[in-house]
A and B are shown apart, each in its own frame.
Chain A
Amino acid sequence: MFSTGFTWNDLMFLLDGARVTVQLTFWAILLGTFAGLLFGLARALWPRLSLPLAWVLDVFRSVPLLIQFVLFNSFKSIVGLNISAFSVGCIVLGVYTAAYFTEIVRGGVLAVSLSVRRASRSLGMSYLQDLRWIVLPMATRVAFPGWLNLVLGVMKDTALVMWIGIVELLRASQTIVTRIQEPLLVLCIAGLIYYVMSLVVARLGARLEQRWQEND
């Protein structure tokens, strides 16, 4: 009863898929963090001026990721951009991440009280110095847990790229299921890999967070 068609090579195949998942997450987070940081600062510092930006980013948060993938993928073909499905996945996920991260950054920057900023300005710091040395460090601490949650969320959302034909962890498990016909076992292994990846990221983040809180 406990004989299984699941072989060592299948596990390697799954881990290959997991690597793609991690790569996608990495690039999406990199892109999303940079863009989100800029947008978030803009949102916090010039709220009136950047209102259109907020509307645009809101669209990315109100439309299912799956549909964003399909739309961008077909849009890519329409305008004749010659980029791989992997890049499409990275870009869409990156923009999606940026849309969420913008709000997190904005919250973080707004959490720095105005009197602190006034104090730094009255100590003779320039506007940019105030931003660089006072606002950003303090906002980072506030925004970090949100950022970490976002990383975990994006890692799980990478599962959707299978729809545009990238073989990542979940798709890899599907491929194996079609061969050996033991969905429960294979899916449980894939789920375990996801679970462990999430747990590792969450633990690392929690440790970092604790270290930053040391001198509070």
Chain B
Amino acid sequence: MFDYTFQWRSALRALPDMLNGAWVTFETAALSMIFGVLIALALTVMREGKQPLLRGFADGWVSIARNTPSLFQIYILYFGLGSMGLHVSSWIALLAGITFNNAGYLAENFRGGLKAVPTTQMRAARSLGMSAFQAYRMIIIPQLLRVVFYPLTNQMVWAVLMTSLGVIVGLNNDLTGVTQDYNVKTFRTFEYFALAAALYYVIAKAIVAVARLMAWRLFRY
């Protein structure tokens, strides 16, 4: 029944390439997180505001991002924009898709976090003569980020895991893409993907560890 010989050596030979891929993966995830947080902050402010148009836009964004698969979002950006004559590379589609997704989920987290910041903080800031933007930037958002720090880390791990979807729209330089390239060349599926899984695990754990270190460093009173 079991007559398969594992060829780990050939998989290990691909390790340098896969590490390069892992770096691309990490970069993509980090970029999508940075953009995602910025957009999510904007969405949160829009949802708090009274302008019905902005509010509807932000609500729509959040509900579409949360109620459709992330793969679908990447597909829409890759094939959908392509059909309108806007040809984007698979990396851009991946990045934009994950950013869209991250922003939706983070906006929901931020809304919860915003409830934990007392409204009196805003009023106090305004009465000290700060503009609304200043109050948000210097008073509300720092407190908000502290509350949502843990969900943020979680989302970062998810962003890394989501980058693996790039391979479905033909990305071939991230970790999964490189692995898939080797896979179609050698048909040693199990070995290569097991190695990739291990790398993903290490990346995820490293993110959690760094976040814990940061939390310990940042949130000491």
Binding site for B on A (CB under 8 A): 59, 62-68, 70-71, 73-75, 78-80, 152, 156-160, 162-163, 170, 174, 177, 181-184, 187-188, 190-191, 194-195, 198-199, 202
- Interfacial chain B residues near A157, Cβ < 8 Å: 69
A-B contact pairs, 18 of them (CB 8 A): A67-B164, A67-B196, A70-B189, A70-B193, A71-B197, A74-B189, A79-B4, A80-B2, A158-B69, A160-B69, A182-B83, A187-B75, A187-B79, A187-B80, A188-B80, A191-B72, A194-B72, A198-B66
Q: Give me 13 other A-B pairs in contact (C-beta within 8 A), A71-B193, A184-B83 excluded.
A: A63-B204, A67-B196, A74-B190, A78-B4, A78-B190, A79-B2, A152-B66, A156-B67, A156-B70, A160-B165, A187-B72, A195-B64, A198-B66
CA distance A107 to B48 in the complex (A): 31
Interface residues of B in 75-101 (CB under 8 A from A): 75-76, 79-80, 82-84
Partner of A66, one of B69, B164, B205: B164
Among A68, A70, A75, chain B packs the most CB atoms within 10 A around the CB of A70
- The closest CB in chain B to the CB of A159 belongs to B69
- Give the interface size bracket for B toward A: 35 or more
Interface string of B116-144 (1 = CB under 8 A from A): 00000000000000000000000000000
Partner of B67, one of A65, A174, A187, A194: A194
- The closest CB in chain B to the CB of A192 belongs to B68
Q: Is the CB of A156 within 8 A of B69?
A: yes
Partner of A64, one of B63, B79, B200: B200
Separation in Å of the A157 CB from the closest CB of chain B?
7
Separation in Å of the A181 CB from the closest CB of chain B?
8
Binding site for A on B (CB under 8 A): 1-2, 4, 63-64, 66-72, 75-76, 79-80, 82-84, 157, 161-162, 164-165, 167-168, 176, 179, 189-190, 193-194, 196-197, 200-201, 204-205
Q: Is the CB of B1 within 8 A of A79?
A: yes
- The closest CB in chain B to the CB of A202 belongs to B67
CA distance A193 to B130 in the complex (A): 46
CA distance A181 to B63 in the complex (A): 28
CA distance A68 to B168 in the complex (A): 15
- The closest CB in chain A to the CB of B63 belongs to A195
CA distance A81 to B83 in the complex (A): 42
Separation in Å of the A29 CB from the closest CB of chain B?
16
Separation in Å of the A201 CB from the closest CB of chain B?
10
- The closest CB in chain B to the CB of A21 belongs to B69
- Interfacial chain B residues near A187, Cβ < 8 Å: 72, 75-76, 79-80
Q: Is the CB of B64 within 8 A of A66?
A: no
Separation in Å of the A36 CB from the closest CB of chain B?
18
CA distance A48 to B164 in the complex (A): 34
Q: Is the CB of A194 within 8 A of B69?
A: yes
Q: Is the CB of A68 within 8 A of B197?
A: yes
Q: Is the CB of A159 within 8 A of B72?
A: yes
Partner of B167, one of A66, A75, A170, A174: A66
CA distance A137 to B173 in the complex (A): 49
Q: Is the CB of A67 within 8 A of B176?
A: yes
CA distance A113 to B71 in the complex (A): 41
Partner of B176, one of A64, A80, A170, A199: A64
* A170-B72, A187-B72 known; A59 vs B79 contact (CB < 8 Å): no
